Chains A and B, each alone.
Chain A
Amino acid sequence: MTTPAEDAAGTIALRQYGTSVPARLQHAIDRIWARNPASCIGALILLAWLAVAVSVPLWTPYASNAQDVAHRLQGPSLHHLMGTDTLGRDVLSRTLLGSRISLPVAVVVIAVSSVIGTALGTISGYFGGAIDEVMMRVVDITLAFPAIVLAMAITAALGPSLTHAMIAMVAVWWPIYARLMRGQVLTVMPQDHVLAARALGAGELRLMARHIFPVALGPMVVQATTDFGAVVLLTAGLSFIGLGAVPPSPEWGALISDGRQQFYQWWIATAPGLAILSVVLSFNFLGDAVLDFLDPRRR
């Protein structure tokens, strides 16, 4: 729903920027930068991390597991910008390579849990009744555990590995999306376009897939953006306590755990910690901007 003033602003914007896709994109970026520069910085940092994750094996001076025991536990220097660890491995190289684990893990966990959650939430909201009741109680119960505790329990039962940690995280994350999607479906279902489609004889699957699901999707995207940071943190946390990625892996939480063993060699934990901080902070900046964008009271 737009107000007349917003319509007018949109018309002016159209005149200024034209209708071609790059021009409209430029317009959107300008507006976001003016309103919330932090989110643009966040987006830039994330793009930079993405570039690193894709290309880093081509240009790091040291391989992830290249040991150099003669130069172990050395502080930052020109040869090793963030120092070396117990086995003389280059901390900065390992941290950069770690992005190839932490980022895909977060993507997969969010993707899988949002697909499961969205599907179950759609079914739950669409059919209602007993299915809905049972499904939402399961959601209540799963959300009743603090995420890390349940993830720990599951990982402990399955045995520690990054895959098991991911399974555990999906198990604690899908209910958030299921509950959100169900609420969305309930608001979209009585809308005229759905009724019209039903009157034209659309089947239930078609109604759900073509007429309800796409309209209800918006808030899911927002939730997913804001959840990325939390998943990165939880992955690192699980690895830190030894229930996620296991040693030679340069996963960030595991690297910080290495740093904990060498308390006075502060540089070992510093680089991976800053990496986590920059990624999570960027996602939080982005999430803040998305919320700003969607919540009219914050404009």
Chain B
Amino acid sequence: MAIYITRRLLLLPVLLVGLSLITFVVSHKIPGNPLVAQLGLRGASNPQTVRTYRKKWGLDRSLPEQYVAYVGNLLHGDFGRSLVSQRPVSEDLKQYMPATIELAVASLIVAAVPGLLLGIWAAVRANTVTDSAIRLIALLGSSLPVFWLGLIVLFLLYGRLGWLPGPGRLSPYATPPPQVTGLYTVDSLLAGKPELFWDALKHLVLPAFVLGWSTMGVITRMSRSSLLDVLKTDYVRTARAKGLTPLTVLRRHAVRNAIVPTLTVTSLAFGGLLAGAVLTEVVFSWPGIGQYAVQSADNLDVPGVMGVTLVAGLLYVLVNLLADILYALFDPRIRYA
């Protein structure tokens, strides 16, 4: 297993170089004059500024050297300057990141708990109406366009019924809690403001549900099929033959063994959450990096989009690595060499 994990770790730098290479190449396709775009008309007319800029990004040198300069700047956390906000992209990302993390974590909770329970329920009641209904719910999750589902639930639960608040992270009159983690639900509790926590939580419900549904479907399907496999094994039959109650068999023998593949799928689904977050954030005016990416893309702000692309790619790679290692740890049968 050590060999397997080492191999996976050795692949990491290759992936990172690849990620930066792709964003580098795509950035170089920027239409128009990147100098004017980056420095503004006044900056671009000042020879001193232009020289410093060209030196920093290695624009006076060959393409491979430019790439080295680009990676060097990335490693120092310099993603360039956003054309829209006129601030370093890294600062923008820092500002928008917590909202996305809060949304993604909330969706993962919304997805994992009911997903697992529904999967178990469906497997126990395999090939019954209950099973079909649960499978339909799961399949709907991956068939509904999140941006449309978001509009519909917003219209019904906020627009018509008024049960839940509208877009955004907080009500318009509320002031955000002092920033500690950047997650409003956590920060409001740290600041000792339960009413603010309640407000933040209510705003989180709809987007988390909309974003979580598709992931819930994936988790449901996986836990159902892996539990079905386990229920057919000899040790489960033995446990039943011993006279254990069905619930004990399920709890002590079946679910524990079925949960390993489900765990892997859950961590892989995190990547899907990131992707879905882009559209969900747009619909719910959720100020996360997904919305930032869309705004940047709409304004042809390439450094902004590339910043998000790099961060999303990096997160995705790390989460996949974590999933593989977890899998190897949990399942001793996995020994790739």
Contacts and interface: CB of A to CB of B under 8 A. Distances in A.
A148 B290 CA distance: 10
B275 A148 contact: yes
A200 B4 CA distance: 40
A132 to B, nearest CB: 14
Contacts of A288: 139
Interface string A123-163: 00000000000000110111011111110111111111000
A150 B23 CA distance: 9
15 contacts: A140-B15, A142-B22, A144-B313, A145-B22, A146-B275, A146-B316, A148-B275, A149-B293, A156-B297, A156-B301, A159-B300, A160-B297, A273-B149, A280-B145, A284-B142
A250 B18 CA distance: 37
A153 B306 contact: yes
B20 to A, nearest CB: 10
Interface in B213-251: 225, 229
Contacts of B301: 156
A280 B149 CA distance: 14
Contacts of B142: 229, 280, 284
Interface residues of A, number: 49
Given A137-B18, A240-B282, A273-B148, A285 B139 contact: yes
A284 B145 contact: no
A17 interface: no
A144 B31 contact: no
Interface residues of B, number: 55
A185 interface: no
B317 interface: yes
Q: Quick one: which of A137, A148, A160 has the most chain B CB within 10 A?
A: A148
Interface in A195-244: 229, 233, 236-237, 240-243
Q: Quick one: which of B14, B272, B294 has the most chain A CB within 10 A?
A: B294
A112 to B, nearest CB: 19
A277 B144 contact: yes
A194 interface: no
Nearest to A285: B139
Nearest to B232: A297
Contacts of A156: 296-297, 300-302, 305
B181 interface: no
Interface string B139-157: 1101111111101101100
A159 B29 CA distance: 10
B103 interface: no
A256 B148 contact: yes
B30 interface: yes
A53 interface: no
Chain B contact surface mostly: helix
Contacts of A233: 145
Contacts of B293: 149, 152
A276 B279 CA distance: 15
A62 interface: no
Given A137-B14, A159-B31, A152 B278 contact: yes
A19 B337 CA distance: 49
Interface in B245-276: 271-272, 274-275
A161 B279 CA distance: 18
A240 B279 contact: yes
Interface string A267-298: 00110110011001100110010000000011
A229 B145 CA distance: 10
B23 A260 contact: no
A259 B271 contact: no
A157 B155 contact: no
Given A141-B18, A157-B302, A158-B29, A256 B313 contact: no
Contacts of B21: 141
A254 B62 CA distance: 42
A259 B151 contact: yes
